[in-house]
Structure formats: structure tokens, C-alpha cells
């Protein structure tokens, strides 16, 4: 059975950890997870993604495989790429594992795509918001129509009641991607249920 | 949650969970949490960049409790760190620091692991397989002991450059790389990239033939590398004759770590010229199925495109992917297998493994599989630093059970020595939790590569034992011996100390309703059951039972009012699970056919229709009339047996004192584990697949001729005191 517990790691004094550069041509991302993601001149580094459409950019952020697959399955990509600007609040694979059982996730991705679309819309805002914007704002409205409280959380941004950004400020062709550590929306938690061993 | 303030205002860590989502790693200080240490023993390492700049001189005398004799040995994708144990300490921390060519640090020191006594079966020579770095990078390693949580002095450092990705960039073939390798593990290899890579390996290596064994629901090819030296045998039967081994790399689409290892291993086998590789390939054939679930892999789902978990379908074969694999098993007959997965249980070791436990699996297969895990993987793991452990390890009570739908058990029921392999996909007791990052992907993939290489070595070294176990298992099964258990496992005893606190998979003994003490002789299916349309496949269309039985390779006798599937054949353990109404997940409720003779019969016995002799003694000749079927298990016949124009002939674990003549059978013929005192003639049997003649003892000549398909011994040799002739010349 896949059971995972998550602890939130908050790094107070970690300003723009490891991912910044003095060069104005590079893209700065920030957050405690950034140093574990492609960086510098590695394939998939933040600068290399800055002009990529959302579906391509997501394929390089290693901790977003569940979100990336779900977005493809949802068939929302053309709609998102047609928007002038978007912000994607993308839960990490660990966040998905803590939220949904394997069976539940397959159900959403294969059979219940309406629910999947609603879930994904709860993670997307139709304007481009930087980390600073999220920290400064009181709330944002996601594409599913939900108003989500946001604000500061040390050097990161808090999203809703549980989530914080863990690597923020990826730029993509039409907006921003922030990796977050909890799944948003109102679906029930099913992690730990069902038969998900080998 | 508890908040721990570590260094003034520098770092805040909330603990109280076995996981940290990420290791902390930044410029001012380094904090790596080893999650198993939990709140009580949580002891982050804080090292300033100045502390390690001056390594101890080599001649310095060891300080008290300082680790000495540190060595680092490079292998594909990992480094084995070893040292002399310090008496009385609790555990050890392994530290790694990126350095440049002149050994000046270029990164922050990071504790990449904790060695503790239950990591390996011998504690006298501690080793730790450090992985999770970009192959080819250069590092410094140090190790220190801890007493409780009190850190002792670090060892002198060792500097070394890790092994670059396998294959000379200047040599064709060797220079192939997967997408996973070229993107430095940022991306997994896509379907298209896999096909291109596979085709190039195939094109450039004489040792490799890539065979498409089937297609997925979405029509993706399911490829298999068939690898031998100097070339792979030409046909599946010729491959089977080499007692091949098989690796299934990616059944769950969202568990891709093993698949990347398989693709790298295929390149090594195809292009490596070292003595070990050539030695392996000269003696057997390696079968690698990188992606049985291509649709699930592309979509990153666990199941296939219908949502079916394929590792709950290997007996039922409702899906085209599993049916393809089962047909491959029928045709190529691997004697040993591994099935690759990933596992999120943070309490597990590096490499959880498990043998086929279903109680219908022959004891010999269970024992040999456990031998492979404990006496090879645990032992070699202790040498190279990988922690192989029983699946479950801890908190695993719900996994590793007896579903025959799981490949591990299906393979066991097909008399194949095998194990499950899990790659721990989350942090754990002795490794940092790095989530789904490139480094964690590398750790998983290179631990799988190590395991599959060890699997090949085990097969190479123990082939005689494997074949003996398999042969005895086939003879046991064909004798229809013992009760039938529909669901229920053998107990996997915990390995002896030092594995304190470890828990294997739960007992999972069969409940009374899952046991049938009085095994039938056969199952009889109606026309509708056998050939009727089914709705349990993709888009509500399923293959017929007849087609699925053919895929498994079972022998079936057509009788006047239906189809009879005798249990006197090698997959006897599996047949009832799919044809008996008591089965947990059966296809149909076949009619149990019980023996017609179990006692003594004196005088000639003439058989018309269907006869089943079980534990019987016949003193006299046995004659089958045209169209008759004989199934004999644990039976002694003193007299000649003559079957001409029969519908089917099955002998298992029996004795015939006299000649055995089977001619012109219009159906299956199988003679296994039977002692014949007299000549054996198998001639002109013209309907059905190859007659089985396996594991028998014949005092007299063995002659086979005119059979539409040459008889096979299923790689279980017969003992024949007389000439072998015709189609049986090599049996």
C-alpha cells in the first residue's frame, strides 16, 4: 500500500535558494524544492522553459508527472494555451500521492474526466501571478470559480488552508507555474485506500 | 507537528512526520534529514563550508571512534562505500560532497545515507550503495559513526570520479542513449524514443532480436529484446531450449524506474564485450520486455487505458497486454523471472522482493525463489551496499498476498522461479526523501539495474538448481498431487538476524472456503463456457475461454458434450483457479470431473469415453478405444498400454510396466514424471500442439515419428535406457 505522510518544510532564511543567478537572462525560481529540480544549464532548467507552452514546460519539472499527465488527460491544454495569461498552481507528485489512492487517480484520469477537469481548474488562475503577487494578494479566483485565500508564508506563498509554494516563479510562454505541496479543490482524500501494492 | 529551531533564525523544520518533503540543501548550511530518525532522534547535519576544506592527512592517527579504511568502488550509477566497523556504535552517516578535478569542493556536503545494522545480513563489513547523482560526476566521501545521536569524528575523505553512463561515446551501439539519460533523468523515455532506441539496438547488434509480442489496447507495440551470443536462437522453441530468463520492466505505467534500467541493460548486453557478459549470453537467452503497459506509461496511469491494473490480470488475461505476456511465456518458457515495480512505503529497504507464495505453487519453486532472494540478493546486496529485504518490510501487511492474478504468483504457478522487485520511490529509513527528483529517479533505476544484473548472475550460477526445481515442480503438478488452494499464501519466514524489527508480509493463510481437499481429475466445460462470447475485456469484448486457455498453453480434450481440461499437466496449480466455481476470480464454473478408478483393477482394462485413474493399480493391459480419453495420475499399470486413435492421453507421476504405445491421437498427449518399463512409441499424433514427454524414465527405446508437431520435453530431461529415435532423438 502506498502511504505517505508529508511534512511541510519551511525554510525561513532561504531567500531564492540555489536557483538564482546574477545574469539577467536567466529565470529565477525560488523555494526549498528548487535546488532538487533541473537548474543551471541542466536540461529543463527554468530559463529553458520560459518560452515553452504550458504542456511542454510541465514535462521538464520532474516532480509534476502526475499533474502533467492529468492535464493531458483532461484535454484542457488547448484552452489554457489560448489564454492570454495563466497561473498554474501545480501540486507535486508527493502531494497527489498524499491525496488520492492509486485507484482513485486512475479513475479520475481515465474515466471521470469531468471531475478531473474541475479538479485541474481549481489549480489555474487566468492571469499571470508571480510569487510576489501571490504574497501580496488576499485571494485569487481559480478557473472552477472558487475563491482561494492566498498570502505570505515566510518567503513562500500560502495557497488556501494547507498548501504553500515549494518552488515558485517558473515562467512559461503565457504565465507562471508554481509548484505547491498540497492538492487544492474539494475532492475527498482517498490516499491509503484500496489495493495498491505490487 | 513540532517546530524545531535549529540554528538561530536560519532554519525552521517542522517534524513529527516520517517524511520531509525535500532535503534542505542550500548555500549557507546543509541540512539533510534522514526521515527514519523521526522526531526522537532527529539529528540534522549542519556543516559550514569551511569545516571540510582541510582533509585529514593520510598518516594521521585515528581519533577515538573514527571510521577508518574507507573505500569507494564505482559501479554503474552507484558507488559502494565501505569501511571498517567501529565497535559499539549505533549507526553511520555517509557524507558526499561534489568536488572539482583538484578535489576542491564545488557543492555542499550532504549526508546521503545512514547505515544501520538491519541494512545487511552480515555486519562485519558494512557497505553502503550511494546513488542519486549524475553519473560521471566527481565527489568526496566521508563516513562517521554515531553513538546514539552523538556524532563521532569523520573518516579521512576519499575522492573519486563516478562511472560515466555505460558505453563508449565513440563506439557505434555503445553510444546510444535513452531520453532519460540525455535529459539527465529530467524526463522518462517516451514511447517514441523507446521504439527508436530499441530499433537501433536491434539494428546494430547481432546479439539482439527485437520481437513484437503483442499490441496494447491503443495499438502500441509491446516489444521484447531477445538477446543471445553470438546471435539469439532463431525460434521461440530454440530460445526455450536455452532455459532463458525474463525481466518484465513496466507493468504499472506510473512506476517507470525499472524500465529505464531495462533499456540501459539491453544496451550493455548488446554491446559489452567483457567476459562476464559474453559468458552469460553464451549459455542462455535474456528476454526483456521494457514496456508491457505502453498506454499506461504514456498516460502516467497505473492501469492500462481501460483502467485495468494489469498486475491483477495475468491469470485472467482479459487485456491484450497480459495475454501477450502469457503467450510469450508459453512459447519462450523462461525458467526464471523478475517483475519490476516501484513502492511508496517509506519503511521499506532499498529493494523489497518477494517469491511466489500462492500455496498452489509447487514447493520447489517457492523454495528456489526464496533462495534466489535470500541467498543471492541479500548476500550480494551486503557486498555492494544495497538493502534487499522482504516485500512489506514494515507497514506492509496488506501487500504481497496470494492473488494468482499477480505476475509473481502467475509465474510461480507456471513453474517459473521468480521474484517481485520494488524500487523504493519515497524516502526511507536510511535514505533522504527527495521526492520525484532526478536524483531519486537515478537511485531507483540504478538499483534496478543492479538487481537485474544480479538476477542474471544468479541464473548463470544456479541454473542447474533452477532446472531441477522446475523439473520437479512440473512433475509434481502433472501428478495432480495435493489439495487445491484457491487463495492463500505460504509463510515467508523472516530472515534471521540482523534484521531486527523487520516485518515480512502477513501470513495470509488460506481460509477453509479457499481449500478443496479432494481435487478433481479434470474440469469439463460446456460449449457455451468454452466458446461463448465474453464481455470482460476492453470495450466489453473479451477473448473466449478457449482462446485464453490456448494462450496459457493448457491441453484440452474435445469430448462429445463439451471440453475437458485434465489437471494432469504442468499448470495444474493454475487451472482450478480459473475453472472452478470455488475460485476467487474464475472465468467459468466448470464441472468437476472426479476419477473413475482409484483402487485396484485386475485383468484387462478397455477404455471407451473418458477414464480417469487416480492412485489406481491395474494388473493387466490397458487399451483405449478410438475416441477414448485416459488420464492417469499416481497410477501403476502392469501391462502394456495401447492407445490408437484416442481423443487424449495424459500420464502424470505414474508407472507403466510394459510398452507404451500412443498413436494417431486426435488430441493432446502428455506423459510427465512417469516410469515406463518397456519401449515407448509416440507416432502419428496429428492433432494439437506438441506432445509433452518430460521428466520420464524409460527402460527401453524411445521412438517418436510422424507427430504433426515434434514432442517437447519442456526442458525437463528424460532418462532413457535405450536409443532415442526420430522426433524424440534429443529428448
**B86-111 pLDDT, tens digit each:** 999 999 999 999 999 999 999 999 99
Of the pLDDT bands very low, low, confident and very high (cuts 50, 70, 90), residue B62 is confident
- Report the CATH fold assignment for B47-161: Immunoglobulin-like (2.60.40)
Q: How far apart are CA B231 and CA B247, in angstroms?
A: 19
Of the pLDDT bands very low, low, confident and very high (cuts 50, 70, 90), residue B504 is confident
pLDDT digits (tens, 9 = 90+) for B351-378: 999 999 999 999 999 999 999 999 999 9
C-beta of residue B484 within 8 angstroms of C-beta of residue B578: no
Average pLDDT for residues B296-315, to the nearest whole number?
98
pLDDT of residue B507: 87
The kind and range of the H/E element at B582 are: none
Cell 525463489, residue located:
B369
Chain A residues near residue B422 by CB distance under 8 angstroms: 198
- Which has more confidence, B90 or B118? B90
pLDDT of residue B154: 98
- pLDDT for B689 beyond 70: yes
Nearest CA among B389, B385, B356, B386 for reference residue B374 = B389
Task: Tell me whether residue A52 is in a domain.
Answer: yes
Task: Tell me whether residue A150 is in a domain.
Answer: no
- pLDDT for A10 beyond 60: no
Average pLDDT for residues B126-132, to the nearest whole number?
97
Task: Tell me whether residue A59 is in a domain.
Answer: yes
Residues 6+ positions from B204 with CB-CB distance below 8 Å: B172, B173, B176, B270, B271
CATH number of the CATH domain containing A84:
2.30.180.10
Residue from B19, B302, B435 whose CB has the most chain A CBs within 10 Å, to mutate: B435
- pLDDT for B32 beyond 50: no
C-beta of residue B158 within 8 angstroms of C-beta of residue B152: no
Task: Tell me whether residue A103 is in a domain.
Answer: yes
pLDDT of residue A73: 98
Packed helices B438-478 and B275-283: angle between N→C axes, nearest 10 degrees: 30
Task: Tell me whether residue A38 is in a domain.
Answer: yes
Hey, which residues 4-43 in chain A have their CB within 8 Å of chain B? 4-14, 17-18, 32-33, 35-38, 42-43
- Report the CATH fold assignment for B179-485: Aminopeptidase (3.40.630)
pLDDT digits (tens, 9 = 90+) for B370-426: 999 999 999 999 999 999 988 866 655 678 899 999 999 999 999 999 999 999 877
pLDDT of residue A11: 30
Cell digits of residue B274: 567483457
Label the pairing between strands B351-354 and B388-390. parallel
- pLDDT for B179 beyond 80: yes
pLDDT of residue B431: 86
pLDDT of residue B399: 80
- Closest partner residue to B14 (CB to CB) among A7, A107, A109 is A7
Which chain B residue's Cα is nearest to A191?
A: B344
Upstream peptide bond of B498 is cis (omega within 30 degrees of 0): yes
C-beta of residue B254 within 8 angstroms of C-beta of residue B341: no
Q: Where are the domains of chain B?
A: 47-161, 179-485, 518-593, 600-726
Task: Tell me whether residue A81 is in a domain.
Answer: yes
Any B CB within 8 A of A192 CB? no
The domain of A67 spans 34-129+165-180
- Which has more confidence, A196 or B718? B718
Label the pairing between strands B591-593 and B522-525. antiparallel
Report the complex ipTM.
0.88
Cell digits of residue B608: 471407451
C-beta of residue B299 within 8 angstroms of C-beta of residue B305: yes
**Number of Cβ atoms within 10 Å of the Cβ of B147:** 13
Q: For residue B630, what are the β-bridge partners?
A: B611, B649
C-beta of residue B352 within 8 angstroms of C-beta of residue B435: no
The kind and range of the H/E element at B269 are: helix B257-271
Average pLDDT for residues A169-198, to the nearest whole number?
92
Quick check: A42 and B184 CB within 8 A? Answer: yes
List C-alpha distances in Å: B624 to B489, B628, B639, B676: 40, 6, 13, 17
Which chain A residue's Cα is nearest to B301?
A: A106
pLDDT of residue A25: 61
Quick check: B435 and A60 CB within 8 A? Answer: no
Q: Please count the structural domains in chain A.
A: 1
Amino acid at each position: 500500500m502506498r502511504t505517505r505522510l508529508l511534512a511541510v518544510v519551511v525554510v525561513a532564511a532561504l531567500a531564492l535558494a540555489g536557483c538564482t543567478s546574477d545574469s539577467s537572462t536567466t529565470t529565477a525560481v525560488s523555494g526549498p524544492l528548487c535546488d532538487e529540480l533541473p537548474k543551471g544549464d541542466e536540461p529543463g532548467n527554468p530559463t529553458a522553459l520560459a518560452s515553452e507552452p504550458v504542456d511542454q514546460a510541465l514535462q521538464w519539472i520532474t516532480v509534476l508527472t502526475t499533474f502533467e499527465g492529468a492535464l493531458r488527460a483532461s484535454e484542457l491544454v488547448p484552452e489554457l494555451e489560448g489564454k492570454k495569461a495563466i497561473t498554474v498552481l501545480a501540486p507535486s507528485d508527493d502531494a497527489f500521492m498524499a491525496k488520492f489512492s492509486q485507484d482513485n487517480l486512475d479513475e479520475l484520469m481515465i474515466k471521470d474526466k469531468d471531475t478531473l477537469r474541475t479538479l485541474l481548474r481549481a489549480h489555474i488562475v487566468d492571469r499571470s501571478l508571480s510569487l510576489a503577487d501571490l504574497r501580496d494578494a488576499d485571494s485569487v479566483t481559480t478557473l472552477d470559480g472558487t475563491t482561494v485565500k492566498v498570502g505570505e508564508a515566510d518567503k513562500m506563498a500560502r495557497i488556501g488552508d494547507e498548501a504553500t509554494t515549494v518552488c515558485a516563479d517558473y515562467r512559461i510562454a503565457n504565465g507562471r507555474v508554481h509548484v505547491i505541496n498540497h492538492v487544492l479543490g474539494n475532492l475527498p482524500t482517498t490516499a491509503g485506500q484500496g489495493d495498491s501494492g505490487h | 507537528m513540532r517546530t524545531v529551531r535549529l540554528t538561530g533564525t536560519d532554519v525552521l523544520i517542522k517534524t513529527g512526520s516520517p517524511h520531509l518533503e525535500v532535503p534542505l540543501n542550500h548555500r549557507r548550511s546543509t541540512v539533510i534529514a534522514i526521515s527514519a530518525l523521526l522526531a526522537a532522534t532527529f539529528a540534522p547535519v549542519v556543516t559550514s563550508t569551511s569545516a571540510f576544506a582541510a582533509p585529514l592527512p593520510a598518516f594521521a592517527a585515528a581519533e577515538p571512534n573514527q571510521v577508518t579504511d574507507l573505500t569507494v568502488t564505482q559501479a554503474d550509477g552507484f558507488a559502494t562505500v565501505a569501511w571498517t566497523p567501529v565497535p559499539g556504535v549505533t549507526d553511520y552517516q555517509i557524507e558526499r560532497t561534489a568536488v572539482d578535478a583538484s578535489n576542491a569542493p564545488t557543492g555542499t556536503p550532504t549526508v546521503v545515507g545512514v547505515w544501520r545494522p538491519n541494512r545487511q545480513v552480515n555486519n562485519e563489513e558494512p557497505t553502503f550503495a550511494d546513488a542519486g547523482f549524475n553519473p560521471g560526476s566527481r565527489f568526496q566521501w566521508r563516513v562517521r559513526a554515531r553513538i546514539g545521536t552523538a556524532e563521532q569524528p569523520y573518516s579521512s575523505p576519499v575522492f573519486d570520479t563516478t562511472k560515466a553512463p555505460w558505453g563508449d561515446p565513440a563506439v557505434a551501439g555503445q553510444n546510444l542513449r535513452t531520453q532519460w539519460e540525455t535529459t539527465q533523468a529530467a524526463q522518462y523515455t517516451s514511447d517514441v524514443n523507446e521504439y527508436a532506441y530499441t530499433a537501433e539496438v536491434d539494428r546494430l547488434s547481432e546479439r539482439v532480436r527485437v520481437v513484437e509480442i503483442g499490441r496494447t489496447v491503443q495499438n502500441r507495440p509491446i516489444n521484447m529484446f531477445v538477446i543471445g551470443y553470438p546471435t539469439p536462437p532463431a525460434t521461440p522453441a530454440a530460445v526455450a531450449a536455452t532455459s532463458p530468463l525474463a525481466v518484465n520492466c513496466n507493468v504499472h505505467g506510473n512506476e517507470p524506474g525499472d524500465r529505464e534500467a531495462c533499456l540501459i541493460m539491453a544496451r550493455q548486453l548488446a554491446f559489452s564485450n567483457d567476459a562476464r557478459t559474453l559468458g552469460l549470453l553464451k549459455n542462455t537467452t535474456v528476454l526483456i520486455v521494457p514496456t508491457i503497459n505502453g498506454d499506461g506509461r504514456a498516460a502516467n496511469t497505473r492501469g492500462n487505458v481501460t483502467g485495468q491494473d494489469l498486475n491483477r490480470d495475468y491469470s485472467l488475461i482479459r487485456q491484450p497486454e497480459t495475454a501477450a505476456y502469457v503467450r510469450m511465456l508459453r512459447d519462450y518458457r523462461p525458467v526464471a523471472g523478475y517483475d519490476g515495480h516501484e513502492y511508496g512505503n517509506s519503511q521499506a529497504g532499498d529493494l523489497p522482493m518477494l517469491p511466489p507464495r500462492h500455496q498452489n505453487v509447487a514447493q520447489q519453486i517457492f523454495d528456489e525463489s526464496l533462495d534466489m532472494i535470500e541467498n543471492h540478493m541479500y548476500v550480494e546486496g551486503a557486498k555492494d551496499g544495497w538493502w534487499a529485504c522482504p516485500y512489506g518490510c514494515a507497514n506492509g501487511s496488506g501487500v504481497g498476498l496470494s492473488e494468482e492474478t499477480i505476475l509473481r504468483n502467475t509465474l510461480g504457478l507456471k513453474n517459473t522461479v521468480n521474484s517481485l522487485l520494488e524500487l523504493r520511490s519515497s524516502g526511507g529509513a536510511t535514505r533522504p526523501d527527495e521526492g520525484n527528483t532526478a536524483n531519486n529517479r537515478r537511485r531507483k533505476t540504478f538499483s534496478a539495474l543492479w538487481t537485474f544484473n544480479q538476477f542474471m548472475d544468479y541464473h548463470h550460477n544456479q541454473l542447474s538448481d533452477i532446472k531441477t526445481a522446475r523439473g520437479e515442480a512440473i512433475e509434481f503438478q502433472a501428478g495432480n498431487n495435493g489439495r487445491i488452494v484457491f487463495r492463500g499464501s505460504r509463510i515467508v519466514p523472516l530472515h534471521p538476524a540482523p534484521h531486527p524489527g523487520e516485518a515480512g508480509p502477513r501470513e495470509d493463510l488460506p481460509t477453509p472456503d479457499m481449500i478443496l481437499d479432494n481435487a478433481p481429475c479434470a474440469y469439463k466445460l460446456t460449449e457455451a463456457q468454452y466458446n461463448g462470447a465474453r464481455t470482460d475485456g476492453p470495450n466489453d469484448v473479451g477473448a473466449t475461454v478457449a482462446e485464453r486457455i490456448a494462450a496459457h498453453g493448457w491441453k484440452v480434450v474435445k469430448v462429445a458434450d463439451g471440453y475437458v481440461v485434465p489437471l494432469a499437466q504442468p499448470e495444474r496449480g493454475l487451472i482450478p483457479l480459473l475453472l472452478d466455481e470455488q475460485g476467487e476470480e474464475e472465468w467459468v464454473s466448470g464441472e468437476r470431473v472426479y476419477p473413475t478408478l482409484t483402487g485396484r483393477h485386475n485383468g484387462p482394462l478397455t477404455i471407451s469415453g473418458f477414464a480417469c485413474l487416480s492412485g489406481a493399480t491395474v494388473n493387466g493391459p490397458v487399451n483405449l478405444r478410438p475416441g477414448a480419453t485416459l488420464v492417469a495420475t499416481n497410477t501403476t499399470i502392469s501391462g502394456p498400454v495401447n492407445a490408437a486413435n484416442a481423443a487424449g492421453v495424459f500420464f502424470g507421476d505414474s508407472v507403466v510396466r510394459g510398452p507404451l504405445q500412443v498413436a494417431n491421437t486426435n488430441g493432446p498427449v502428455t506423459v510427465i514424471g512417469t516410469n515406463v518399463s518397456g519401449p515407448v512409441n509416440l507416432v502419428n499424433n496429428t492433432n494439437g500442439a506438441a506432445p509433452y514427454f518430460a521428466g520420464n524414465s524409460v527402460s527401453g527405446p524411445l521412438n517418436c515419428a510422424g507427430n504433426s508437431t515434434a514432442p517437447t520435453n519442456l526442458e525437463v530431461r528424460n532418462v532413457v535406457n535405450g536409443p532415442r529415435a526420430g522426433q524424440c532423438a534429443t529428448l
